């Protein structure tokens, strides 16, 4: 077996399949799943945050059956060809998003591409809610002020922010995460919802209607929802706008200079999806010109970098892509990524419902004999479990 100059930690050295994880991942269940499937697991422990394509090729070497990779890595033709040449046919991103993966290239090379949906929803939505509150109530600015020893007494005008109750939260992309965030803002802060999505968010609409009726029955003002037909409508109407679309050619720089100009002067924009959804240079200029406008960002256009000027702005809250960083979610993502690879190597079918993956996460029972989510399963002709066969 080829040895790699990058440092690795080996589990189950005599396993028949060689599987690489490009990073150590939280928890141990993921390693157990791979070991139980007969894999030798090599975890790259190199002290380098982002591995290059060349690094990963070295790790793959001349014999490798499967890889678990990270969203910071460029999984294109070169890596999938290298994996195929090493005899591999299983890959999983440890992420729900896979804009770093060229799925067509993987399919061409006969490699299955897994992702990890169904385990990030609430955790990501909670971070978007935390960012919203931090921006609305200027928590980060106030924290820095305290630490700098500047607080010399209560003042009626100190760090005045925005009240969320009764305001409108705008959702762009009302899928699982966008809808979960909207529910939190409705239920927690009694905000009204305006949303834009190609698909109707029926469950969200029903929830807001029912909650509105409940509030009315208690003698309180109801909450409302409205589905609009353009992104611009959301931007004009909302006091807080949270972005939850997938990143593709149609959503690159969805929020640009002209669209920012449509927003209220005191609005807040939240991004916990992908950085390039916002033209970050335009956002910096907008924040500079509109000190009452706020942005709260988990993701950046050129991660790990920020565009010049962003870090100097008091009206921006910035955190390092941690939306999915709860213990439960990160351990769950690792488990799903391992189950994707193990399932493919063992020749198991693909799970029938990628959004309902709880059976893989329940530690008290054996995970189902399936790969939880393979995005190119159909194109590769992989067998998909039918609910009846469970």
Q: Return d(Cα 285, Cα 281) in angstroms, integer.
A: 6
Question: What is the binding site for ligand GLV (CB under 6 A)?
Answer: 71, 95-97, 120, 324
Nearer to ligand GLV, 315 or 324 (CB): 324
Instruction: Name the DSSP class of 306.
Output: -
Report, in Å, the least distance between residue 326 CB and ligand GLV. Answer: 12
The answer to whether the CB of 181 falls within 8 A of the CB of 204 is no
Nearer to ligand GLV, 197 or 298 (CB): 298
Report, in Å, the least distance between residue 266 CB and ligand GLV. Answer: 29
Nearer to ligand GLV, 242 or 324 (CB): 324
Is 183 catalytic? The answer is no
The answer to whether the CB of 340 falls within 8 A of the CB of 371 is yes
Nearer to ligand GLV, 95 or 267 (CB): 95
Nearer to ligand GLV, 56 or 95 (CB): 95
Radius of gyration of the chain (CA): 23
Catalytic residue among 274, 286, 294, 330: 274
State whether residue 371 is helix, strand or coil.
strand
Report, in Å, the least distance between residue 95 CB and ligand GLV. Answer: 3
Q: Return d(Cα 227, Cα 201) in angstroms, integer.
A: 9
**By CB neighbour count within 10 A (0-12 exposed, 13-18 middle, 19+ buried), where does 106 fall?**
buried
State whether residue 297 is helix, strand or coil.
strand
Q: Return d(Cα 90, Cα 113) in angstroms, integer.
A: 7
Handedness of CA 52, 53, 55, 60 (dihedral sign): positive
Q: Return d(Cα 31, Cα 218) in angstroms, integer.
A: 51
In DSSP terms, 225 is beta-bridged to: 193
Is 274 catalytic? The answer is yes
Catalytic residue among 78, 122, 205, 303: 303
Catalytic residue among 29, 89, 321, 330: 321
The answer to whether the CB of 295 falls within 8 A of the CB of 314 is no
Report, in Å, the least distance between residue 117 CB and ligand GLV. Answer: 9
Give me the count of residues in the chain.
390
Nearer to ligand GLV, 120 or 174 (CB): 120
State whether residue 196 is helix, strand or coil.
strand
Is 321 catalytic? The answer is yes
Q: Which residues are catalytic?
A: 274, 303, 321
């Amino acid at each position: 077996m080829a040895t790699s100059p990058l440092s690795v930690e080996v589990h189950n050295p005599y396993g028949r399949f060689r599987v690489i994880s490009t990073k150590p991942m939280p928890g141990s269940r993921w390693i157990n799943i791979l070991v139980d499937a007969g894999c030798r697991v090599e975890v790259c422990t190199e002290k380098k945050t982002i591995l290059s394509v060349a690094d990963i090729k070295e790790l793959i070497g001349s014999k490798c059956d499967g890889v678990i990779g990270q969203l910071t890595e460029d999984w294109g033709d070169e890596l999938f060809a290298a994996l195929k040449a090493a005899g591999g046919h299983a890959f999983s991103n440890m992420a729900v998003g896979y804009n770093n993966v060229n799925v067509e290239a993987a399919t061409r090379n006969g490699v299955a591409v897994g992702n990890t949906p169904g385990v990030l929803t609430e955790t990501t939505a909670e971070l978007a809610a935390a960012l919203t509150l931090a921006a609305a109530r200027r928590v980060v600015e106030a924290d820095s002020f305290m630490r700098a020893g500047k607080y010399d007494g209560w003042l009626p005008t100190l760090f005045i922010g925005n009240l969320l109750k009764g305001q409108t939260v705008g959702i762009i992309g009302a899928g699982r995460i966008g809808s979960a965030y909207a529910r939190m803002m409705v239920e927690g802060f009694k905000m009204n919802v305006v949303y834009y999505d190609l698909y109707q968010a029926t469950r969200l609409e029903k929830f807001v209607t029912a909650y509105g009726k409940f509030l009315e029955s208690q003698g309180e003002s109801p909450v409302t929802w409205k589905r609009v037909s353009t992104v611009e409508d959301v931007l004009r109407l909302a006091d807080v706008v949270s972005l939850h679309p997938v990143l593709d050619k149609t959503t690159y720089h969805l929020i640009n200079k002209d669209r920012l100009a449509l927003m209220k002067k005191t609005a807040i924009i939240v991004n916990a999806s992908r950085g390039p959804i916002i033209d970050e240079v335009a956002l910096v200029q907008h924040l500079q010109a509109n000190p009452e406008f706020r942005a709260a960002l988990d993701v950046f256009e050129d991660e790990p970098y920020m565009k010049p000027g962003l870090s100097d702005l008091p009206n921006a809250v910035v955190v390092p892509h941690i939306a999915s960083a709860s213990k439960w979610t990160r351990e769950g993502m690792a488990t799903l990524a391992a189950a994707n690879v193990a399932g493919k190597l063992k020749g198991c079918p693909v799970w029938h419902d990628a959004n309902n993956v709880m059976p893989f996460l329940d530690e008290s029972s054996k995970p189902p004999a399936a790969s939880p989510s393979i995005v190119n399963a159909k194109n590769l002709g992989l067998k998909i479990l039918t609910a009846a066969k469970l």
